[in-house]
Structure 1
Amino acid sequence: MQAIDFYMVDAFSQKTFGGNAAAVCPLVEWLPDATLLAMAKQHNQSETAFFVRTDSGFELRWFTTQYEINLCGHATLAAAHVIFEHLDYPHTDIRFSTRFVGELRVTRNGDWLTLDFPAWETKPVDAPPLLLESLGINGCEEVRLGRDYLVVLKDEMQVRNLRPDIHAMLPLEKMVCVTAPGEQYDFVSRFFCPGEAVAEDPVTGSAHSMLIPYWGDKLGKTTMLAKQVSARGGELRCQWNGDRVLIGGQAATYLIGKVMLR
């Protein structure tokens, strides 16, 4: 039997039951991919972060209940929180090596952790009719496409009031991010995940890799404050540095335990 430390962390929140929950498992060495996926399925969170310590930092991977993904912001924040808070890590800077997006850095300043992520470009596209139909809207300001669909609405209340048919989005074969200018924030967003265990992601760090460059260009700003207006919600401090973005947030530990593999 093998015992593995297990943490559940509410990322992008300073208190429990806010932000976005992620499972985090520190490993001594990598387990088979099939075991990592089975663990993520058992945890039944939107993502589980696994990491292994190396001589130069940490190797980091993220699994949904379906497959390994190329980038996850809130689970990276959660993993960094575990390292800083529970593993007696003495530094204020963590370097994660990843398989798909190279090196990621997380820095700590008081209670705030800042992710250093790649900036993702989006390009304008014609809106697929199914996209607007599944969102329950007749039109929008703009539709763009990067890793995910980016749908721009007129104002915050439109984003808050959406009641989408997320299952109907499955044929799009993309996640869907909806955004608008904020009332008290520079911009707000929601993020929909058809086919995943969590249909609406509460706070999506990776989506801000495309939101920050978009709104930075639109607003003529490099420093912004963002809010993901899901039911749980989360606040993000954002900075646009050319081909990189800085995404700041807080985190709170909800659960500490052991995974027993037999």
Structure 2
Amino acid sequence: MQTPYLPLAGLRGLILGVANEHSIAWGCAREAHRQGAQLAFSYLNDKAKQYVAPLAEQVDASLFPCDVTVPGALERFVEQGVASLGGLDFAVHAIAWAPADDLHGRVTDSSRDGFNQAMAISCHTFAELGRLCEPHMVQGGTLVTMTYHGANVAIPHYGIMGPVKAALEGMVRYMALELGPKKICVHAVSPGPIMTRAASGIAGFDELLSTAQARAPLQRLVTQEEVGALTAFLVGAGGSGMTGQTLFVDGGMHAVG
């Protein structure tokens, strides 16, 4: 019997942002595992662990706590994750948060504290992750974060996360420039709207889903599996000549406005 080809065999990766089976991060993790990668997951707290632990078990991933708002937590997660994997080749950053009042209100009315919190958790943690992963990616590697088209155009109800994601995409370009000499590639993946726990907090999200389905050239929504397949391509050999990009997997929605 022929041995199946596993494009990510031997690669080791950290996955941040799996909350439940609907998470985009879970789609990325599941596909990476299917292609042969070894994984380590983060989980936010004990309440979240009950949902994340069974998923980690499905893909033989090690599991460690990480609340990025707690000083030192991200450092401990990377240290524990790398130790469990015996090295590091890629990391997927799929965490974002903003206070409800600022998320649901006008950008014009956003509070300074709310904006700072959203930026710190949703954007700056990617820079922190890059800094922490860099010493472990001795043969090079790949860092991937998740963004959304609301970074490029103003989308009703996306609010403060639009400017935050715009900053994140800028972060990707600068990190690509700085880490390129270490053979570390940096990307943002921009999925179309997918019903996740985080997305459910956006007002009018059902309308956003229906609009995307109607207007996208492919006339459908995208899936976790498609986001996972793109992410797996980027962290594998196929993406080795690419860096600093925002890649859309949104049925073509970004091309039509």
Flag whether TM exceeds 0.5 (same fold).
no
Higher relative contact order (CA 8 A, sep 6+): 1
- More strand per residue: 1
What TM-score does the superposition give when structure 2 sets the normalisation length?
Answer: 0.27
- More helix per residue: 2
